[in-house]
A = this chain, B = another copy of it.
């Protein structure tokens, strides 16, 4: 392997000169030309580790995702990857596999890799998260969830819920079922739910039942099989498209027809919701945009500039076949 020393020897200069040449310091035309040639000839590239030993950090951004098979995470990831590339940064992805411990652990692991910044897609923010973030002394950007006092980019969850609730209300339905997720998840379990409920609140002849289910397709499916036969609801709103898909499948299994027996809607804008029959009404989130903004912001943070503590992106209702007037 060719090192800076080899280059220096070949060129007959000190290695500090080569280092300056590589990093844009003052070097004469003559030596620059000579080095240009030698570097090209030898195909020399500096050893990243030697560089990072002294440098405070690398040209890498670490990203922690909750699971590898999440549609939304992958959409965001793809966008972040592309944007980061434009800025000559490398993306280092680690998987927390739905475990809070692994999330924390990965923060430290990435810090050890001396990434310049960390983008964290968490589901909940615990004290341990805050402690880790404070300790690593690397900018951390939260994605999707809001963390008091931490830099955050998220979706307008409350508004999404409210939009969906209002849409449903205007269709004239009286009995609603909202399939939510655990409350510890602030973005989905609280804000999104609250938006829906607030929109549907007024009016005495309207009832909204809320049942808690899981992000997992399989679990939601099994629960739906139990709930559907007895529900009075003519409009079912699910906290995620994944849950909506599970309800759809359960309906098929039970031989119930949508939207004849009940309307169905979800959140997320997952690609599959437009493929199934009937296609499912959903709120489409701008994942690509989220990724783009996230990269802009983390790089700002990395370069020491301040950012607004919290940025929330708007979303859009997408009406499809699964919802009809009462």
Contacts and interface: CB of A to CB of B under 8 A. Distances in A.
A47 B90 CA distance: 20
A81 to B, nearest CB: 5
Given A53-B53, A276-B275, A68 B48 contact: no
A248 to B, nearest CB: 8
A145 interface: no
Contacts of A97: 78, 81-82
Interface stretch (A106-114, A203-211, A293-301): A106-114
A94 B91 contact: yes
A91 B92 CA distance: 9
Contacts of A177: none
Contacts of A75: 69
Range class of the A interface residue count: 35 or more
Contacts of A47: 53, 112
A133 B193 CA distance: 51
Interface in A248-302: 248-249, 252, 271-272, 275-277
A91 B110 CA distance: 11
A167 interface: no
A109 B78 CA distance: 18
Contact of A276 (B49, B95, B109, B276): B276
B53 A81 contact: no
B45 A112 contact: yes
B277 A277 contact: yes
A271 B49 contact: no
A271 to B, nearest CB: 7
A240 to B, nearest CB: 14
Contacts of A74: 68-69, 74
Contacts of A272: 272, 275
Nearest to A78: B68
A118 interface: no
A48 B113 contact: yes
A126 interface: no
Contacts of A277: 252, 276-277
A50 interface: yes
A19 to B, nearest CB: 16
Contacts of A245: 275
Given A68-B77, A248-B275, A275-B276, 19 more contacts: A47-B53, A49-B49, A49-B53, A49-B114, A53-B53, A67-B78, A68-B74, A68-B78, A69-B75, A77-B95, A90-B94, A91-B95, A92-B92, A93-B93, A217-B271, A245-B275, A252-B277, A272-B272, A277-B277
22 contacts: A45-B112, A47-B112, A48-B113, A49-B53, A67-B78, A68-B74, A68-B77, A68-B81, A69-B74, A74-B74, A77-B95, A78-B97, A81-B95, A81-B97, A91-B94, A91-B95, A93-B93, A217-B275, A245-B275, A249-B275, A252-B277, A272-B272
